[in-house]
């Protein structure tokens, strides 16, 4: 594997290998000395054209725990503001010694274009491209589900038959797309619940069936996992729902809806959360919530992805 651009690029064997290696990385992350020499002498660049807390920092921590050097590039404050292109920016960073670029960009396809342009020879990891994909988020979500279900016996296990309900702003969500692709490869049954205005034009999005009411979805589907999506106000040029209060009443995971889930069901959110809009504090902070586990697992999963892409090379 040279790049990680889409969850669809991963075979079941590759997904299981990444998740199993992440289990080993999580053991390292529980030690006092959380460090492996695997990527000593390599340089990893976080190339971020959009804001991020979790993804950027967890890739930085992951690369450092594998002993790589890390350069953080943020478009804000860089020569991008003087008109420098993605090509010139990437070539400049590679000239400084980068061997992997972790790319977050507002344009769908930006990471794919870099990987296939011939401009550079670095590994490219898609850390979120517009509304398109966020494959490492899907991997860490799958890892979190597997760990909650199978505990310390997760290695080699798929998510066969697991019922996952993805709720909310599907239209603007790269997390929804990557999760649909990855979870299906792992054998999960994934359904959507969203207002019609926040579903893609073809509502059978990637073949998933959908509900136009959250209460119906909970009562009929009895999900094992409820994944709440952030309402992406920054990507909305029009009004997709009447008021925040109305959205919260119809689509928010309230304390009452949380109580109607099965007691073993888990509540996920990729973050950052809009508390009081798509998720209540009662749900976000409940014992069923995996929000902070997802963040912690993100480090192990991203260590595993870097390991899979970069560890086999001869040091330059
Ligand atoms: N889940 C996620 O991608 O969060 P950040 O935008 O903070 O990276």
pLDDT tens-digit profile of 77-87? 899 989 999 99
For residue 228, list its beta bridge partners: 167
Same domain, 214 and 265: yes
What is the domain range of residue 269? 135-294
- Atom from ligand 1 closest to the CA of residue 58: 8
Whichever domain contains 88, its CATH number is: 3.40.50.1370
Same domain, 65 and 198: no
Residue 315 has pLDDT above 50, yes or no: no
- Tell the residue nearest (CA) to atom 6 of ligand 1: 52
Q: Measured between alpha carbons, how far is residue 87 from residues 84, 113, 289, 300 in Å?
A: 8, 10, 41, 30
Q: What is the pLDDT of residue 313?
A: 64
- Tell the residue nearest (CA) to atom 3 of ligand 1: 55
Indicate the number of domains in the chain.
Answer: 2
pLDDT tens-place string over residues 241-269: 888 999 999 999 999 999 999 999 999 99
pLDDT tens-place string over residues 117-133: 999 999 999 999 999 99
H-helix or E-strand spanning residue 91 = helix 86-95
315 within a domain of the structure (yes/no): no
Any ligand 1 atom below 6 A from CB of 55: yes
316 within a domain of the structure (yes/no): no
The neighbour count for residue 123, using CB atoms within 10 Å, is 23
Q: How far, in Å, from the CA of 253 to the mean position of ligand 1?
A: 20
Q: How far, in Å, from the CA of 98 to the mean position of ligand 1?
A: 23
Contact 3, 124 (CB under 8 A): yes
Ligand 1, pocket-test mutation among 55, 139, 234, 299, most atoms within 8 A of CB: 55
Residue 245 and residue 305: Cα distance in Å, rounded? Answer: 40
Residue 167 has pLDDT above 80, yes or no: yes
Same domain, 129 and 140: no
DSSP 129-162: ETTTB-HHHHHHHHHHHHHHHHGGG-TT---TT-
pLDDT average, residue stretch 201-219: 91
Same domain, 154 and 280: yes
pLDDT band at 316 (very low <50, low <70, confident <90, very high): very low
């Amino acid at each position: 594997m040279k790049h990680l651009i889409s969850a669809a690029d991963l075979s079941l064997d590759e997904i299981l290998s990444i998740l199993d290696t992440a289990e080993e990385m999580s053991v390292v992350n529980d030690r006092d000395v959380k460090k492996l020499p695997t990527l000593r002498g390599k340089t990893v660049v976080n190339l971020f054209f959009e804001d991020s807390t979790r993804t950027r920092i967890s890739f930085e921590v992951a690369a450092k725990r594998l002993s790589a050097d890390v350069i953080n590039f943020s478009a804000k404050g860089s020569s991008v503001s003087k008109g420098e292109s993605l090509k010139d920016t990437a070539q400049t960073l590679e000239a400084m010694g980068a061997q992997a670029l972790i790319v977050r960009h507002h344009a769908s396809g930006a990471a794919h274009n870099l990987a296939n342009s011939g401009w550079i020879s670095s590994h490219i990891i898609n850390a979120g491209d517009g509304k398109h994909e966020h494959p490492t988020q899907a991997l860490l979500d799958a890892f979190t589900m597997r760990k909650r279900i199978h505990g310390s016996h997760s290695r080699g296990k798929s998510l066969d038959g697991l019922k996952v309900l993805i709720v909310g702003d599907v239209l603007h969500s790269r997390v929804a797309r990557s999760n649909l692709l990855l979870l299906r490869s792992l054998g999960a049954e994934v359904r959507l619940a969203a207002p019609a205005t926040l579903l893609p034009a073809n509502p059978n999005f990637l073949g998933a069936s959908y509900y136009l009411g959250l209460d119906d979805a909970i009562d009929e589907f009895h999900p094992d996992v409820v994944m709440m999506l952030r309402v992406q106000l920054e990507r909305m040029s029009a009004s997709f729902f009447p008021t925040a209060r109305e959205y919260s009443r119809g689509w928010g995971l309230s304390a009452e809806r949380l109580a109607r889930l099965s007691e073993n069901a888990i509540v996920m959110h990729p973050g950052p959360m809009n508390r009081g809009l798509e998720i209540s504090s009662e749900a976000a902070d409940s014992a069923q919530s995996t929000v902070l586990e997802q963040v912690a697992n993100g480090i192990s999963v991203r260590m595993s992805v870097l390991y899979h892409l970069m560890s086999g090379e001869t040091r330059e």
